[in-house]
Amino acid sequence: MLTEFSISTRGPCLYEFTREVKRWLAGRGDGLLTLMVRHTSCSLLIQENADPEVQTDLTAFFDRLVPSSDHPSMSYLRHTYEGPDDMPAHIKAAIMQVSLSIPVQAGVPMLGTWQGIYLVEHRRAPHHRKVAAHFG
């Protein structure tokens, strides 16, 4: 079974789409869910969904880890014509996950109590992101 989730973003942030995944999986039985983001400047992540400060702190950490290309420490970057956030977004996507595998039992993803599924947007401008899903 295949589908695609569409996620609208408004800048760097973690966008949870666990509810949409659960809705799609409902009643499907046991198997393995594979998710893959179809873009090179965002990532996927399983992370805590109870305290929003976790998402805020993670976004701030990734921005400190890989600052924008106009930061003096990033002067070595050459791919800058798409804006100062573009190449850093590619770097973040290269070091983070772009696909996830999640066991499913009786149509329910086997996530922990406080775990949610997120798209991590690395670009500043709004985007419409696509996440391909396969369940089998």
Q: Where are the domains of the chain?
A: 2-135
Q: What is the pLDDT of residues 116-133, one digit of tens each?
A: 999 999 999 999 999 999
Annotate 98-120 with DSSP letters as a single string: SEEEEEEETTEE---TTEEEEEE
Sign, CA torsion 74/77/83/86: negative
Q: What is the pLDDT of residues 36-54, one digit of tens each?
A: 999 999 999 999 999 999 9
Q: Please name the CATH architecture into which domain 2-135 falls.
A: Sandwich (2.60)
Q: What is the pLDDT of residues 99-120, one digit of tens each?
A: 999 999 999 999 999 999 999 9
Cα dist from 24 to 4, 7, 14, 41, 103, whole Å: 10, 15, 21, 25, 14
Query: d(Cα 76, Cα 115) in Å, to the nearest integer?
Result: 37
Q: What is this structure's pTM? A: 0.95
